[in-house]
Structure 1
């Protein structure tokens, strides 16, 4: 029976052994967004996310990284010393738990914010050992969907979060908390809110990490958002399009505005309302996407109207 050789953690994150801590973190965040099972379209997203979490947990920790590099350079030495004992302080406790988790590839009890989208295993025990190194908890990242109206008016929303941490026995567990988050008006699609010290718990009394919440405005049949620009689909009649009449449009902020259509407007044509998009700095624009809708002829008079229309445009060929 053959055993599968574990992947090199540097290869998993796509970095070299000379990569800085910032480069490692940047690579992790990029992969976390790509393989987050709640948003990824990859078939093996959950497995890849687990691999990325394990790799980042090792390479983002100086002590773990040094031991891992030593094992890469001296594989025979690492195997021959596998039975050596270690002093049972907090850091070794966390390291041995990590090694066990790595071998089992089982992170089912370690789900974090809104599914499995977070920064790995940065949390730590609550108690502090004298002389032990303090480590800041990892930052957490989450994405939430809010209605477009929130971009114009702001909102306060209550969020239920799941934060991975360790209990008093050094075992992984999920800490559940509910936060009241104030979302200010003017946030662009994809912009983040930082909640100070609401991320994973620090190790040995270190500071908690921060929580970053990415705001997203889901597309509807009428609206979609790109950054601070809002695109609105508007239905118009054939005569409004041909004659260039005025129409009333309901804006995402709830106000109504009169818009003058150009003569002979076409389906798909866009009209820009300057600074009427998301009130960011600078404000986005609102683009009206015109859609000409033909009425259904249900009476003799309406049928005759279409007949008169056909006779008036007998030279017109739409094909």
Structure 2
């Protein structure tokens, strides 16, 4: 079994904080997404990045991983075996919450089959009933916002338990082509009837429930059906007002910035959010202004700022602090 160096996979150091880890994951997840990348190995790289992030974003899992990593019982690129007395606090006990087909053997050897995207319902019990409905399966599927907005076709793989001709429970891999409708939102469930595990005897097959989650986006965030964007603007655009191009989920639009705007001011672009189940109208895009200054100024610009300081000498933004 090959050792997985999650820090190397994400391109961060051992001292990287949560924000750096998340930022690197966002960048790499988009780079290696099979629908975006032309790399022949993109799907595996996408899975490796997701696995690394699942460990390093979790304080407890990261601490356990760091402890093993520090023991020096592995060789990068070579074989790896956890210590004989190793038992993760995340492994074992009850039904596995996730599919061991989604993450690597290395991951499962440390944490068991916890941490991937597939999990099974907890209400299943292996009883001796002659006719029993198959168990429902649950699968988290990560989408880009563009995929959620437009709809997409995705292929998913999961491992199911089924009785053979002798009634013995066996596991097999199952692949499905799934159509995701346009306008889904994070947390929404899509039920695929009869696509769960087979029933016993005359029992019906269970269902497969897909839970939608969103992959991190380079600059968009989501709040329900609304899409959020922080928009950098210049100080002169904020003071004088301007019309600028702004990206939305389905293309760029012109946005009018009112004069005397300030950092933190919010503008709404109607109808440029997600639709969402049961919504009468689509969500909006909420734009938060962020006034940015150049890192350097030439002599003419400095002179103008000096003149501005003289003209606005009565303005004191820190007056509220002088009580």
TM class, shorter-chain normalised?
0.5 to 0.7
1:135 pairs, out of 128, 132, 136, with 132
**Distance in 2 separating the partners of 1:159 and 1:192:** 15
1:268 pairs, out of 264, 267, 271, with 264
Whether 1:228 aligns to 2:225 is yes
Q: State the match for 2:205 in structure 1.
A: 208
Structure 2 CA distance for partners of 1:313 and 1:239, relative to 1, 3 Å: same
- Provide, for residues 85-125 of structure 1, a one-character-per-residue CA deviation record: whole Å limited to 9, x for no partner: xxxxxxxxxxxxxxxxxxxxxxx9x9599456211484979
After the TM superposition, which of the residue ranges 243-252 and 308-317 deviates more from structure 2?
A: 308-317
Q: State the match for 1:175 in structure 2.
A: 172
**Distance in 2 separating the partners of 1:112 and 1:206:** 29
Q: Which runs of 5+ in 2 are unaligned?
A: 1-53, 62-87, 97-109, 319-323
Query: Once superposed, what is the RMSD of the aligned Cα atoms?
Result: 3.7
TM-score (norm 2): 0.59
The 3-state SS of whatever aligns with 1:249 is: strand
**Distance in 1 separating the partners of 2:91 and 2:118:** 8
**Distance in 1 separating the partners of 2:315 and 2:115:** 59
Q: Which runs of 5+ in 1 are unaligned?
A: 1-37, 55-107
**Shift of residue 257 of structure 1?**
1.4
Q: State the match for 1:301 in structure 2.
A: 300
Q: State the match for 1:64 in structure 2.
A: none
2:159 pairs, out of 157, 162, 173, with 162
**Distance in 2 separating the partners of 1:194 and 1:260:** 42
**Distance in 1 separating the partners of 2:218 and 2:227:** 13
1:185 pairs, out of 182, 186, 194, with 182
The 3-state SS of whatever aligns with 1:149 is: helix
- Provide, for residues 189-242 of structure 1, a one-character-per-residue CA deviation record: whole Å limited to 9, x for no partner: 211111121112212242111111111123434211122111111111111111
Q: State the match for 1:279 in structure 2.
A: 275
**Shift of residue 135 of structure 1?**
0.9
Q: State the match for 1:117 in structure 2.
A: 119
**Distance in 2 separating the partners of 1:172 and 1:184:** 34
After the TM superposition, which of the residue ranges 309-318 and 151-160 deviates more from structure 2?
A: 309-318
**Distance in 1 separating the partners of 2:307 and 2:126:** 79
TM-score (norm 1): 0.60
**Shift of residue 295 of structure 1?**
1.4
Count of equivalent residues? 225
- Provide, for residues 261-298 of structure 1, a one-character-per-residue CA deviation record: whole Å limited to 9, x for no partner: 12221212211122221133321121111111111224
User: Over alpha carbons, which structure has the higher Rg?
Assistant: 1
Residues 111 and 162, structure 1, Cα contact 8 Å, conserved in 2: no
Residues 143 and 216, structure 1, Cα contact 8 Å, conserved in 2: yes
**Distance in 1 separating the partners of 2:202 and 2:117:** 27
Structure 2 CA distance for partners of 1:48 and 1:113, relative to 1, 3 Å: closer
